[in-house]
Homo-oligomer: A and B are copies of this chain.
Amino acid sequence: MQETIKELIQYKMFKELRKYLQFKEPEDIAVALNALSHEDMILAYRLLPKEIASQVFVNLEPDFQEKLINLFSDKELKEVVNELFDDETVEIIEEMPSDVVDRILNQVDKEQRKTINKLLQYPDDSAGSMMTTEYMDFTEDMTVADALKHIREVGEDREDIYKGYILSKDKKLCGIVDAKELVLANGDTPIVNLMDESTVHIHTLDDQEEVGKLFGKYNETSLPVVDKDEHLVGIITLDDAIDVIKEEAEEDFEIMAAVTPNDDTYMKTSVLKHAKNRIIWLLILMISSAISGAIINHYENAFAAIPILVAFIPMIMDTGGNCGSQAATLIIRGLALDEIKTKDILKVLWKELRVSLGVGLILAICNGIRIYIQYKNLQLSIVVGITLILTAVMAKMLGGLLPIIAKKLKMDPAIMASPLITTIVDSASVFAFFSVAVAIMNI
């Protein structure tokens, strides 16, 4: 698509371009525009049909949004902002420099400005900062006909009209009624008869991770957000929750690969930023592998006597690292999905102990046989075999334990993933290897 847009611009076929863009989805247009040069992007954006321009705008990269806002007349800016829902405006504002923010806030009406300012006060990544205040509100005394009339009157500006929130006089949330129920019911039924009282809700200061979990669990198109006095202050819609679910998974992937999490995409991140995001962990992990080095150094006499021992260092280190990261990843995911609780710590350790004994035994047997065939050295077979079992047990116990401890200490369990586990297990497995060797081989 971006190729077509580029070519049409190159040949100045603007009329055709306008026609071409007319039948495309705003999300796809935004992807294509994001890949263009500034000049082409602006040109193409100017040709968009008004109805979709603001939806394309929402999906553009922040630096493109900023460029466009700077080019917009006040009238144009007002048109775009008016088409956005409050939470979309807030999301854009959060990425803009202060002069652009001022311009945007000047274009919205007083009421909306108040709402936006309030939303901006919630901490980043809190439910409050994700919510929209544009929900369908009903009062307890309405009938179905009243409710439908109310939807017709104000529905245009509401982000989710498929769920109505029934409020008491003091703005407390009494319950929810589905638009489906309203459409199917008789006009003079009181809406409280259709009300579902057992409503799952979110608090304004809940973390976005919590929000993602709730949406994952309950099949709802939106969930209400209440303040500390249980007053309804907004709703979060499923589409925003999906973004959070994806974002949280991405963050975990990055942390687990020892990369500082980063909102930008791989391609958009500069080389310098990439290097910065990676170097810190590499340096930290290097310190811990220096410890393994020191342990090896300590056993210089052992491998001076039996040099073949050195050849097994990579296998023992790798196996330890892999065993540990298998356990750690499973536990980290279990914790993230709330399937494993910190109080399950003993259950986890008991399970990992049995798994690691089984796995270790198989590894020991396979390797023991291989080594015996290759080197005809039974002692070496036994040393490596015992080390593998010890390594598997240690690695899997640590892999099970450390993420749970991190969670208890209110740290992100994901930092206990592969790289950290690997370097910790390294020292332990190298130490085990040489200790066993010294003991059995009488070095």
Contact = CB atoms under 8 A, between A and B. Distances in A.
Contact of A297 (B148, B304, B308, B329): B308
A9 interface: no
A238 interface: yes
Contacts of A155: 180, 183-184
Contacts of A86: none
Nearest to A314: B292
Contacts of A315: 286, 289-290, 292-293
Interface in A344-382: 344, 347-348, 351, 354-355, 358-359, 362-363, 366-367, 370
23 contacts: A24-B198, A151-B184, A152-B183, A161-B183, A162-B180, A179-B183, A238-B238, A249-B249, A253-B253, A257-B326, A266-B333, A271-B351, A275-B355, A278-B323, A278-B359, A282-B323, A286-B319, A286-B367, A290-B315, A293-B311, A313-B314, A325-B418, A422-B422
Interface in A297-349: 297, 300, 303-304, 307-308, 310-315, 317-319, 321-323, 325-326, 328-331, 333-334, 337, 339-340, 344, 347-348
B311 A294 contact: yes
Contacts of A334: 265-267
Interface stretch (A63-71, A104-112, A216-224): A216-224
A229 interface: no
B162 A179 contact: yes
Interface of A: 23-25, 27, 148, 151-152, 155-156, 161-162, 179-180, 183-184, 197-198, 200, 215-219, 221, 238-239, 242, 245-246, 249-250, 252-254, 256-259, 265-267, 271-272, 274-275, 278-279, 281-283, 285-286, 289-290, 292-294, 296-297, 300, 303-304, 307-308, 310-315, 317-319, 321-323, 325-326, 328-331, 333-334, 337, 339-340, 344, 347-348, 351, 354-355, 358-359, 362-363, 366-367, 370, 418-419, 422-423, 426-427, 430
Nearest to A277: B326
Given A325-B258, A367-B286, A362 B279 contact: yes
A331 B296 contact: no
Contacts of A282: 319, 322-323, 326, 359, 363
A321 B425 CA distance: 14
B198 A215 contact: no
Contact of A321 (B313, B321, B339, B355): B321
Contact of A419 (B25, B312, B325): B325
Nearest to A284: B322
A307 B303 contact: yes
Contact of A218 (B25, B278, B289, B358): B25
A322 B184 contact: no
Given A155-B183, A221-B238, A297-B310, 18 more contacts: A27-B217, A27-B218, A161-B180, A179-B183, A253-B253, A256-B329, A259-B330, A266-B339, A266-B340, A267-B334, A274-B355, A275-B362, A278-B326, A281-B326, A285-B322, A290-B370, A296-B310, A422-B422
Given A296-B314, A317-B314, A340-B266, A198 B283 contact: no
